[in-house]
Amino acid sequence: MILCFADDKEAKILKQKYYSIEESEHSSNQLQADLITETNSGIIVKDSDHLLSVLEELYTEFQSTSQIACDSHGVEQYSRKIQVERLAELIKGIEPL
Q: How far apart are CA 33 and CA 2, in angstroms?
A: 10
Q: How far apart are CA 71 and CA 56, in angstroms?
A: 19
From residue 35, give the alpha-carbon distance in Å to each of 17, 27, 79, 84: 22, 12, 13, 19
User: What's the whole-number average pLDDT of the chain?
Assistant: 87
Tens digits of per-residue pLDDT, 26-44?
Answer: 777 788 888 999 999 999 9
Q: List the chain domain ranges.
A: 2-92
Q: How far apart are CA 12 and CA 18, in angstroms?
A: 10
What is the predicted pLDDT for the residue at 33?
A: 87
Q: How far apart are CA 5 and CA 48, in angstroms?
A: 8
Query: Model-level pTM?
Result: 0.68
**Once rounded to an integer, what is the mean pLDDT over residues 56-80?**
94
